Structure 1
Amino acid sequence: MTHQIGLAWLAAAASLRQQADDPSLDVNICQACLRRSVSTAYYAVFHLITGDCVALVCIDADESPVAQRLRRSLNHSDLKKVLASLIGSVEYGRKQGGLSPIALPLQCMQALAETFIGLQNAREAADYAFDQPVDAVKADQALANAEDVISEWQQLSLDLKQQFAQLLLLRVMPNQR
């Protein structure tokens, strides 16, 4: 289910990107389409990963009130912090000594984490930095990055996804001992 939702968001992002190429549209509408394309590409990834994390720990994740509440409790900052801690982000206080033993298997997620964080930063710029125009190159890069993260996430083993889900849902930073 979450895979389908993520792909639907990604298709919407691609559609917005295509609309921006319509020469009959006003330049401000094209800019809005490009901005929404970047934002929607990010949300495709966010909802896929958080939805999968909830589904991995909740029975009947689509209908359960507990699962719905858990899904709503996850936020962008939590996901970014857990992923950033996997790549040693100074911004999120990576401690000397590396990852804790519980997170060592998740080292293979470093490329996914870096791409996700870049995509989230692009989304924030597209949504809030109106003094910085979004061009077709930035929108295309966001779509490609979203596709990469989705592909990398789908290739992870069930065990690694479950371990990551536990860290995210408990808001445990992998570099905390």
Structure 2
Amino acid sequence: MMPRLGNPLVYDLLVVADLLSDQRGRRNLQRAATRRAVSSAYYAVFHGVCFICTRALGLWRRDAALTEPIYRLLDQAQIRKRLSGREAAEISAAVAEIGINFAELQALRHLADYSPPSLDISREEARSTVARARKTISDLESLDDDQCRRLAVLLITKARLV
């Protein structure tokens, strides 16, 4: 059965994050693995959002020539900003929750990817992050077609100055 989000990368990144969060061995290897688990969990959500936007616009295909421009158009900082705003909450409570989780996952990814080597992310913290990403993907899957279209328009259109 194909998941509701038709981009298998979303689910594969969650599997990778699970595997990395369970890494055993040398302490430094575990540190690197838990950091990458956090990053992979975030990117699963990012690719989920990208999929929602390309599908809502009728552009989702396995042909990268059609999907890549949308993926490149979606700036991660702008996604966080837009999903944290009033317009996201007006779409639905689920979109507002997606926005909260996206911002938190992005902040955790920044810590994991850009902090000095001494940053220690525990296995439990990594697993919690993966669980949060999985919940956010589930929330994305629950959006109806109208909510997906409204979300895509919110994330793709230029912000208006009021």
| TM bracket (short chain) | 0.7 to 0.9
1:151 aligned to 115, 138, 141, which one?
138
The Cα offsets for residues 127-146 of structure 1, whole Å up to 9 and x where unpaired, read as: 11224311112101111110
How many percent identity over aligned positions? 25
TM-score between the two structures when normalised by the length of structure 2 = 0.86
- The residue that corresponds to 2:22 in the other structure is 18
Note closer, same or farther for the CA distance 1:43–1:129 as it changes in structure 2 (3 Å cut).
same
Report the equivalent of 1:96.
none
Whole-angstrom CA distance in 1 between matches of 2:63 and 2:76? 23
Which of structure 1's runs of 4+ aligned residues deviate more than 3 A? Answer: 58-61
Matches within 5 A, 1:119-130: 119-130=105-116
Structure 2 residue aligned with 1:46:
46
- Who is 1:113 aligned against? 99
Contact 1:2 1:51 in 2 (8 A): yes
Give the C-alpha shift of residue 161 in structure 1: 0.8
1:11 to 1:108, Cα distance in 2 relative to 1, 3 A: closer
Is the 8 Å Cα contact of residues 2 and 52 (structure 1) preserved in structure 2? no
Cα gap change, 1:149/1:42 in structure 2, threshold over 3 Å: closer, same or farther? same
Q: CA RMSD, aligned part only?
A: 2.2
Q: CA deviation at 1:48?
A: 1.2
For the pair shown, the structure with the greater C-alpha radius of gyration is 1
Q: Which runs of 5+ in 1 are unaligned?
A: 87-98
Q: How far did residue 6 of structure 1 move?
A: 0.5
Deviation at 1:51, TM superposition (A): 2.0
Q: Distance in 1 between matches of 2:99 and 2:140?
A: 10
Q: Residue 89 of structure 2 contacts residue 95 of structure 2 at CA under 8 Å; is this kept in 1?
A: no
Q: Any stretches of 5+ residues in structure 2 without a counterpart?
A: none
TM-score by length of 1: 0.79
Matches for 1:17-166 after TM superposition, within 5 Å: 17-19=21-23, 22=24, 25-59=25-59, 61-63=61-63, 65-86=65-86, 99=87, 104-130=90-116, 131-166=118-153
- Asked whether the 8 Å contact 1:116–1:145 carries over to 2, the reply is no
